[in-house]
Structure 1
Amino acid sequence: MRLVSNPVLCNYYLTYRCNATCGFCDIWERPSPYVTLESAKNNIRDLKALGVKVIDFTGGEPLLHRQLDLLLQEAKNQGLITTVTTNGLLYPKYANRLAGLIDMLHFSLDSPIAEEHDRSRGVKCFDKVIESIEVAKQLGERPDILFTVFEHNIHQIPQLLEDICLPNGLVLILNPVFEYNDVGSQLSAAALQELTNWGKQKNVYLNDAFVQLRIDGGNHLEDPICKAASTTLVISPEDKLVLPCYHLGLKEFPIEGRLKTLYQSEEVQKLVALEGKLPACEGCAINCYMQPSFAVEMNKYWWKALPSTLKYNWIKGTWKQLLPF
């Protein structure tokens, strides 16, 4: 049973550029401009009109955009929940400008051991993450640690939790690795069970529907769980609407100040109707599109996702903004 018919999330790619070269990501390899403030303001107003609740300013590295604070302010003016994930390299420099504008601030950390984290990111940034935590706390921010889980680092969850998260009062977000475009990898059944166990711990967030989806072999064309195109609007740095999702990127439509009209057009809605049913959608388990998919249709994944969703939004204080009234 479909509970919400309108899009609820926007993945707004401010740039594909990045100051790191993570081996499990290929976004940074793409040439890219930066989103303009004028186009973003128009789009953010249309996102609100379409019913979007959450806007994720992403990349690449979103802090490379010199007007990120103004983009965040515009989103807050429209009553949207804002989220930013950063590698921390630039956060201490811009933290004062961003203070109070990010509802869900995530610092990426792949290991509690500096050398291992820096190796995974292709740049020395562990110390900047630790510095960013301190700076954020001094400003009254409540950041989280986003830990992308692989087979080779899952054993480090206890150390990361005990040495970094709990002493600083941070939520540890467990982000199971996924495969796309020949990057990423899969997790074993034992690792998935271990993740489920950790997700029940205090100050740990894991969407257990991610685990269930992997157990089930990902999205299936004959009965798709993916609702990427109807739940999530993807806007590129070139000011284009990307369908059905960033990773598949089947078609891009120039927005030109008419996002709402464009999204509701017959041509776009025909592509929306193919979500989860295209050949490349078979077996997909991409977290950033599955999470909103779990939120709009009552099924077993909705029930699996519900406890962790309530837990996290209660901790962050964003639950009131997600209510339908």
Structure 2
Amino acid sequence: MGLPLNLAVKIGTHLVKQKIKRVDKFAMIVEVEPLFACNLKCGGCGKIQQPHDVLRKRMSVEQAVAAVEECGAPMVSLAGGEPLMHKQIDLIVEELLKRKKFVIICTNAVLLPKHLHKFKPNKNFAWMVHIDGLREKHDQAVAKDGVFDEAVAAIRMAKAAGFQVYTNSTFFNTDSPETIVDVLDFLNDDLKVDRIQISPGYAYEKAPVQNRFLGVEQTRALFKSAFSGGNRKKWRLNHSALFLDFLEGKRDFECTPWAIPSYSLLGWQQPCYLMGDGYVQSYKELLTDTEWENYGRGKDPRCDNCMAHCGYEPTAVLATMGSLKESLRAVVSG
């Protein structure tokens, strides 16, 4: 299963418009980080390592909306840090929905029950809850006991209230095909979340724990085994078929780092969410001043083992749009 129909139409229309205009580089999704502060200290994330004065800052509603309008992406991922620690996150969502954007809040869900009443179900809004394994593994990943149970309870609450709930699971070299199958079965069959997003652990340079990241061959072997036996078809995966092919080594792609730009309190991050080589203050500067040709596997050693969805899902989507065969495949599977 791929994207929900209304989101697929939004992104597909956006891609067609860019092709007609002959635009080379454009945003498919924009990630906006309205704060860096978080209520957890996950080993695979380094956001809270920002200086204390930066951790205290919050992006204004106007600034967040302006960034989204500047880049023109049809889909917005509100991340962080923990976005539910932002006192006006509901107003940011409200303003973006008025502008017909598809909005996702990426959250660890600990604060979700406290703030759920501020939001309303909408076909263009979804929660994205991070679930990085079943109870023991997830709590180990977030360095706090009890978080898995809180996240599961929050998902059930949001689903009961009529919201779309997606999950995002990152897998590391501590995972096996069996642990991947176990968590995806649980999310798909027990929790019955609407969409499941997955990604191999990426070498995020600010992460406090650096020995858990997967290499390319490890990633391919891990997902090839996990996807066997028809598993791939039964899970409600929030990915294109070609990206899933890429994960298990059936296809290879180059990274498209400009397709999911990241905007935070520091500005537009160069070149991508995973690598902070600098910040610029406008989206135009990001496109024109970033030396995109210097990044990617075989060009920058930091990219060599990355197979993250933020770089390769856009490539897979563009490849799907450019092939009648793959477009038909996407329609049939989705």
TM-score clears 0.5: yes
Once the two structures are superposed, the pairs formed by residues 121-140 of structure 1 within 5 Å of their partners are 121-123=142-144, 124-140=146-162
Pair 1:241 & 2:268 matched = yes
Distance 1:250 1:301 in 2: 34
| 1:191 matched residue in structure 2 | 222
Note the C-alpha offset of 1:157.
Answer: 4.1
Change (3 A) 1:103 1:28: same
Pair 1:13 & 2:33 matched = yes
2:224·2:249 contact (CA, 8 Å) conserved in 1?
no
Distance 2:139 2:219 in 1: 25
The match for 2:198 among 163, 174, 182 is 174
Distance 1:244 1:212 in 2: 25
Pair 1:44 & 2:68 matched = yes
Between the aligned residues of both structures, percent identity stands at 19
- Secondary structure, counterpart of 1:179 in structure 2: coil
Note the C-alpha offset of 1:87.
Answer: 0.9
The match for 2:74 among 53, 70, 76 is 53
1:178·1:184 contact (CA, 8 Å) conserved in 2?
no
1:23·1:120 contact (CA, 8 Å) conserved in 2?
yes
Note the C-alpha offset of 1:67.
Answer: 1.0
AA in 2 matched with 1:54: M
Change (3 A) 1:133 1:243: same
The match for 1:30 among 50, 62, 75 is 50
2:181·2:226 contact (CA, 8 Å) conserved in 1?
no
Pair 1:203 & 2:231 matched = no
AA in 2 matched with 1:194: S
- Secondary structure, counterpart of 1:116 in structure 2: helix
1:13·1:236 contact (CA, 8 Å) conserved in 2?
yes
Distance 1:145 1:100 in 2: 17
- Secondary structure, counterpart of 2:268 in structure 1: strand
1:19·1:61 contact (CA, 8 Å) conserved in 2?
yes
Change (3 A) 1:180 1:158: closer
Pair 1:144 & 2:177 matched = no
2:261·2:268 contact (CA, 8 Å) conserved in 1?
yes
The match for 1:285 among 299, 307, 311 is 307
Gapped runs of 5+ residues in structure 2?
Answer: 1-17
2:242·2:317 contact (CA, 8 Å) conserved in 1?
no
Note the C-alpha offset of 1:199.
Answer: 1.9
Distance 1:309 1:287 in 2: 20
AA in 2 matched with 1:118: D
- Deviation track 1:100-134 (CA, whole Å, cap 9, x = no partner) reads 2562322111222x333212111231121122112
| 1:323 matched residue in structure 2 | none
| 1:82 matched residue in structure 2 | 103
The match for 1:225 among 250, 254, 263 is 254
Distance 1:302 1:289 in 2: 23
Note the C-alpha offset of 1:139.
Answer: 1.5
Distance 1:179 1:27 in 2: 14
Note the C-alpha offset of 1:163.
Answer: 4.5
- Deviation track 1:259-301 (CA, whole Å, cap 9, x = no partner) reads 5x5456xx53x53455538524344323222222322346999
AA in 2 matched with 1:196: F
2:33·2:263 contact (CA, 8 Å) conserved in 1?
yes
Distance 1:209 1:246 in 2: 22
Distance 1:26 1:217 in 2: 32
| 1:105 matched residue in structure 2 | 127
Alpha carbon RMSD of aligned pairs, Å? Answer: 3.5
Note the C-alpha offset of 1:44.
Answer: 2.6
Distance 2:111 2:148 in 1: 12
AA in 2 matched with 1:111: G
Change (3 A) 1:161 1:7: closer
Change (3 A) 1:67 1:204: same
Note the C-alpha offset of 1:166.
Answer: 1.8
Distance 2:227 2:327 in 1: 12
Change (3 A) 1:161 1:8: closer
AA in 1 matched with 2:167: I
1:20·1:121 contact (CA, 8 Å) conserved in 2?
yes
Distance 1:283 1:161 in 2: 23
AA in 2 matched with 1:24: G
1:111·1:153 contact (CA, 8 Å) conserved in 2?
no
AA in 2 matched with 1:152: D
- Normalised by the length of structure 1, the TM-score is 0.76
